[in-house]
A = this chain, B = another copy of it.
Amino acid sequence: MVQDAAGARPVATLEMVAALAGVSRATVSRVVNDSPSVDPELAQSVKKAILALDYTPNRAARSLAKRRANAVTLIVPESTSKVFADPFFASVVQGIALYLADTDYTLNMVISSESKPEKTRSFLLGGNVDGVLVVSHHSGDHSWTHLSGLLPMVFAGRPLIGGMESYYVEVDNEQAAYNATRQLTDSGRKHVATVAGPQDMPPGLDRLAGWRTAVREAGLGDSLVEVGDFTLASGARAMQRLLDRGVPVDAVFAGNDQMAAGAYTVIQSRGLRIPEDIAVVGFDDDSFATSVTPALTTVHHPIVELGKKMAETLVNLIEGKPTERVTRMPTSLVIRDSV
């Protein structure tokens, strides 16, 4: 093994364990994979031998024999690799890794470089991987769907293009946005604006829709909309435009926390107070939510759980267990000081 490089530590094999325990390879294999039909006493002595030799099954050999890689790949779109710096992405990955840690699947990552898509393709299809996870914040990027007939795949987020048969896990954006906005209207705000996310992404669309339903229900107008692109800077600009309209605004629902933070800077720099003059609600409950002052009321996005669920779905898919094609994660509103 790799120990060639360092001091050679002979790695124990099934064979050696078998020899030590005085049984056949097959029996050791049965014990390792805890097959039911092994004499308990024998199993015990095999286990002792395993411990004594510090035996770990060799993944490669196992994969080869089982014709299964026991690995899932996470595809990171290079073009959006800044996405990687997104707390959302990070948390999803964390959830995935956490779930996988309890299975015997290994997680590997590929950055899908534009330059050699066929390299990625052949890696995925070459039997190196049992399934694929695609994460792309807020975007519902399903550019990989063409593979989904060939390989189990699970996406984060609903695809924009309808009719796709792909498996995905998402948050109920519309409902959550509705609830968040209700918080504003219920507390008597009369001029509830929104800094919406990009209108070419499902979360941008759905959250705006949720806001719209809520303001209409409250008998308010739904024209106080400015669109950003989920970045802090765009949130600031959108807020600026909103305030420059010259009409009253006493509350704003931002499509995500970063844009809410952007809105903060503008509101405060104009000498307006949060929440007295303008109440603010965000979405995602990421690190921005608590690092701003006053602490942001926001929709808690169960991102780590979403990652776990993605991994769970994929593993079920791989193992042929029944699974929901789409999972919608519940959200909750975290009330802090900005309303």
Could you tell me which A residues sit within 8 Å of B by CB distance? 1-7, 9, 11, 54, 56-61, 63-64, 67-69, 71, 76, 81-82, 84-87, 89-91, 93-94, 97-98, 101, 106-111, 113, 119, 122-123, 125-131, 149-152, 231-233, 265, 268-269, 286-287, 291, 293, 317-318, 320
Given contacts A81-B94, A94-B81, A291-B232, contact A71 B108 (CB under 8 A): yes
Q: List 23 A-B contacts (CB under 8 A).
A: A2-B69, A2-B151, A2-B318, A3-B150, A4-B67, A5-B152, A6-B151, A9-B125, A9-B150, A11-B125, A11-B127, A57-B126, A58-B64, A59-B126, A60-B64, A60-B127, A76-B97, A84-B91, A84-B94, A85-B87, A97-B109, A231-B291, A233-B291
| CA A91 to CA B76, docked complex, whole Å | 13
Q: Which of B4, B5, B131 has a CB less than 8 Å from the CB of A2?
A: B131
**9 further interface pairs, Cβ-Cβ under 8 Å (given A59-B69, A265-B293):** A1-B69, A2-B152, A3-B151, A5-B320, A81-B94, A98-B111, A98-B113, A106-B108, A107-B109
Minimal beta-carbon separation of A111 from chain B (angstroms): 4
Asked whether, in the complex, the Cβ of B101 is within 8 Å of the Cβ of A111, the reply is yes
| CA A125 to CA B53, docked complex, whole Å | 13
Asked whether, in the complex, the Cβ of A60 is within 8 Å of the Cβ of B57, the reply is no
Q: Which of B122, B129, B286, B317 has a CB less than 8 Å from the CB of A54?
A: B122
Q: Closest residue of chain B to A120, judged by CB?
A: B101
| CA A231 to CA B129, docked complex, whole Å | 38
Q: Which of B61, B113, B126 has a CB less than 8 Å from the CB of A64?
A: B61
Minimal beta-carbon separation of A88 from chain B (angstroms): 9
Given contacts A5-B318, A7-B149, A151-B2, contact A126 B58 (CB under 8 A): yes
